[in-house]
Amino acid sequence: MKKLIYKSILLAMLVLSFASCKKFLEKEPIGRVGKNVLFEDVLGAKVALTGAYKSMLNYYKLEYGMHGDVASDNVVNIFSNDPFMLQSFNFSSTSGDDALIAGHIWLAVFETLNNTNNILNAIPNLKAEFPNQLNELEAIEGQALVIRAICHLDLSKVYAQPYNFTPDASHLGVPVLTKTPSPGDQVPRKTMKQTYDQILIDLNAALPYLNKYNNATDQALVSYQAALGLLSRVYLYKGDWENSVKAANLIIEDTKYSLATASEYKSVFQEYPGISSVKKEVLFQLSALGFTKVSTKEIMSIFSAPSVTVAQYGASSKLINLFDTNDIRNNMFGDVGGYHISKKYTEGSLAATTPYTIKVIRLSEVYLNRAEANWNLKKYPEAAEDLRIISQRAHPGQTIVINYGSSADLYQKIADERNRELCFEGHRLYDIVRRKENLQRGNDCNSTVCLLTYPNNKFVLPITTKELDANKALQPNPGYN
């Protein structure tokens, strides 16, 4: 017990050392002595993995988790002096915004990435030294590989144009790190193809470990099914339709998971982890249970607070108009002060101990991934059937039939259903951009930017000047530097 407490304290100190870094290459995030002590046994690797999950939660519940919706056509601004996400809403980020969203997301994701790389780089020595604990180490390795893949994917979504921006994905991706850089290391950006190559290497390498030790009982831990779900997403973003369908099939046909029923739908988002509806549908979530403070700058309160004096963004009329009156998801919004406030994460008063979880991937997304991939394979009946399944769950009082006059009509229906199902879960901007669509906000747009045509430099955030100064090999994003 004393060793566990000591290692937990050490991990907390090391995580804090990340937060104090102004540039991710300015100083070594974990000192050599600290790493040697932390990874001297398997317990240290377990503690470090817990730290990686916590670090990932920190960036998902803050700017990264909100950017995909705030910078989309899904929201209107309520609090005009919002100091937190206004650069995202107005596409006004600059390369000097080291202390704002452009700098914060970069540093927060690299914190998780560096923590995870330290675990992965320690695993070979631990396997050699503790061969009797190989099972535990391989389970840790599988989870860490998926977390590293998620970090590279999330960075590429925010700081790089989509995979299909160039025909061969030869445009700039992000720095691909498989070990923590030392102070002064010059790390260039890889191409988007190279970025995705590493993401897929990590996800596929994780599958045998996760399948071998799979129990799928705790959605707050990466599982075999979660890795497959993320593969279906990555292949969809890449435009590898057949592999996206294959990965989706393996999950949908797995009896361990099923869609929550219509009556259970709200509880998927608002109840404690461990209840049946969460266990049915959620493949991977980040749990904020046990944290004693809910910040007004976190994802739950910025979208879902019960008062316009706290909530900063409401649903746009364009989003609200996608729902018909019989859609149970229409009930996930409330009229507060004349604004449509999302109730996806909470309902009622915001207490300091209000529990919430952030859904990284749900089974419903996998159905929609498969629907879109099948559409691109010209398998229109199969695509329509997946669309019907998701829509039917949302309309328990009627029988849903998917009628479409053309393939283009079906495609739009799939896109609209994806937004209805996944709104306020951080997907919308990235879906628009990877489909090479214009961002057209509705008539109630109160941003300084109501239209961005594709392609556009503003669809990605700038890499800040301080990062570029610290790492001369780092290429800037066009249009900012």
Q: With 80 as the cut, is the pLDDT of residue 480 above it?
A: yes
Determine the pLDDT at residue 31: 44
Band the pLDDT of 325: cuts 50, 70, 90. Answer: very high
Q: What is the mean pLDDT of residues 454-466?
A: 97
Q: How many CB atoms lie within 10 A of CB 436?
A: 11
Task: Give the pair of three-digit tokens for residue 8.
Answer: 């937990």
- Model confidence pLDDT, tens digit, residues 402-415: 999 999 999 999 99
Specify whether the CB–CB gap between 402 and 387 falls below 8 A. yes
pLDDT band at residue 351 using 50, 70 and 90 as cut-offs: very low
Phi and psi angles of residue 377, each rounded to the nearest 5 degrees, phi first: -90, 5
What per-residue confidence (pLDDT) applies to 17? Answer: 44
pLDDT digits over 231-254, tens only? 999 999 999 999 999 999 999 998
Residue 347 is predicted with a pLDDT of 61
Per-residue pLDDT averaged across 130-138, rounded? 96
Query: By C-alpha distance, which of 49, 52, 71 is closest to 60?
Result: 52
Q: What's the pLDDT tens digit per position in 17-58?
A: 444 344 555 444 444 445 677 899 999 999 999 999 999 999
How far CA 91 is from CA of 296, 409, 452, 462, in Å, comes to 22, 30, 10, 11
Q: Is the pLDDT of residue 331 over 50?
A: yes
Q: Output 28 or 114, whichever has higher pLDDT.
A: 114
| Helix, strand, coil % over all residues of the chain, rounded to 5 | 55, 5, 40
Q: Which of 1-10, 89-98, 441-450 comes out lowest in average pLDDT?
A: 1-10
Contacts with 353 (C-beta within 8 Å, 6 or more apart), sequence order: 292, 294
Amino acid 23: pLDDT: 56
**pLDDT per position as a tens digit, 252-291:** 998 889 999 999 998 888 765 555 656 689 999 998 665 4
Least confident of 126-140, 188-202, 325-339, 362-376: 325-339
Lowest mean pLDDT among 33-37, 100-104, 155-159, 396-400: 33-37
- Mean pLDDT of the chain, nearest integer: 88
Q: What percent of the chain has pLDDT over 70?
A: 84
**32-41, 110-119, 195-204, 356-365: least confidently modelled range:** 32-41
Dihedral, CA of residue 366, residue 372, residue 373 and residue 379, to nearest 10: 120
Please determine, for residue 16, whether its predicted confidence score (pLDDT) is greater than 80: no
Half-sphere exposure of 452 (CA within 13 A, CB side): 22
pLDDT reported for residue 216: 57
The position carrying tokens 């607070």 is 305
Does the pLDDT of residue 15 top 90, yes or no? no
Per-residue model confidence (pLDDT) at position 80: 75
CB atoms within 10 A of CB 213: 16
Question: For the residues 391-398, what does the mean pLDDT come to?
Answer: 97
